A and B are shown apart, each in its own frame.
Chain A
Amino acid sequence: MRAKSLSTESPSVSKPTTLPSGGLAAAPEAQNEVTDRAVIGGAVGDPLNRDDFFGVDSMTSVRQLLEARVHLGHKTGTWDPRMKPYLFGSRAGVHIIDLDKTLPHLRRALNVAGHVALRNGIILFVSERSQFERLVQKSARDSGEYFVTQQWVGGTLTNSQMLLRTVRLPDLMIFLSVPPSKTAIKEAAMCNIPSIGVVDSDCNPNLITYPIPGNDDTPAAMSLYCSLFSEVISRAKATRESRERREREEGQYKEGGREQSEKDELASEHSIASQ
């Protein structure tokens, strides 16, 4: 687990950085204190400044993708010409997807999912294929996120106030198979929600923010995508929890210091009472 080892880094090694807006390390007490912010930022390190914060590179390889049959596309007659840049060629009347191009796309998408999960974002798994319903539901539940595995009801996002009585929309949508109706993708684009989508040789990748060219019909390939996304989200959540725990401990330590200087008696009483 690389994410865990990264978080135990000493403050002297990494340079102090300012926190991103909405960063989890920005505790309410520390917001007004520039020095504290810098120290916390330095101790934690901005995950966005790291290329491979979640250890995604070691999770994926071309060989693994090939063995999961990610390279097998549809028959040449069913293709969407917009997928041409991602295709390797055709063999036996079937398009072959270039996994050398899939791999960076997949890693980027996994990183996006991880960073969204790290910042407490809501992730929605979408798959309208009935044969993968259980698989998608299981991976969403394993990572503690949400799913839509039935046919997409038009207006779920654009008319969420009426349909769901909520204004909170997902922060990231993962389309594990791009549906032919494309309603969900259009709605995600209209609502400015970033989307990750597995696009096969017969799909249109245009409206998807982070497309992953790959096979979306074979169970082996689908379970690979599901396990990768589930794993990276779980890693991000584990990192967030350990960071929050450490912040709580640091906060308690700080309150102990105030008690000694007798600046804030109420806070010290509170910390003693909570202990």
Chain B
Amino acid sequence: MSVNRLLYGALIRPRPRQKRLECAKHFRVLAHASKEDSASGNEPQSYRTFSDLFQCSKFSSILDPVNQNVEGEVLAVVGGNMYVDFGCKFHAVVPVPTSSSPGGDGTRYEEGSKVVVRVLDLEMTDHFVGDHRDTSLLEAEAKLVVQK
């Protein structure tokens, strides 16, 4: 089962310097690589504008997080529900599995626990007749994925 990590490291890290240099040597483009390295510390020059950074971001590389398993962190547990932050705009409210429900294996969920959720909707919105735009619940929808 593949789990995406949207939560930590919004950016995909560039390859380590050592590896890049090796690679560059291999393809005989060392001059180009060293020029790129010296631009600004460890960051290549192409990382400056928003469009470049966004292309390197995890959110952009996943294309669509809906129906994917992502890692999340429990922000709070309130009255049998836990608020899970999985790295997008909104948190999702997921019921804490009880002992009778599937996945109720006695795992304790508390603030800061890592969970895996399947994203169903990034923001619960719908259109109401007569309204000129959609109404939002300001909440994402997700389902807890039980780890085997």
Contacts and interface: CB of A to CB of B under 8 A. Distances in A.
Interface in B50-70: 50-51, 53-54, 57, 59-60, 63-66
Contacts of B88: 69, 72
Interface string A53-77: 0000000001100110101111101
A73 B50 CA distance: 15
B122 interface: yes
Interface in A177-218: 202, 215, 217-218
Interface string A2-22: 000000000000000000000
A215 B59 CA distance: 15
A92 B50 contact: no
B26 interface: no
A257 to B, nearest CB: 52
Contacts of A62: 48-50, 53
A78 B133 CA distance: 5
A217 B90 contact: yes
Contact of A78 (B50, B53, B59, B134): B134
Give the interface size class of chain A.
20 to 34
Chain A facing B: main interface SS: mixed
A74 B49 contact: no
B89 A217 contact: yes
A99 B48 CA distance: 11
A71 B54 contact: yes
A96 interface: yes
Interface centre among A92, A94, A217, A218 (most CB of B within 10 A): A92
Contacts of B133: 77-80, 202
Interface string B68-97: 000000010000000001011110000000
Contacts of A217: 89-90, 138
B86 to A, nearest CB: 11
Nearest to A94: B122
Contact of B89 (A80, A94, A98, A99): A94
B10 A100 contact: no
A101 B127 CA distance: 30
Interface string B122-136: 110101000001111
Given A92-B64, A94-B89, A74 B123 contact: yes
B60 A218 contact: no
Given A75-B134, A202-B136, A217-B90, A92 B122 contact: yes
A65 to B, nearest CB: 8
Contact of A63 (B11, B89, B135): B11
Contacts of B90: 217-218
B65 A100 contact: no
Interface of A: 62-63, 66-67, 69, 71-75, 77-80, 88, 91-94, 96, 98-100, 202, 215, 217-219
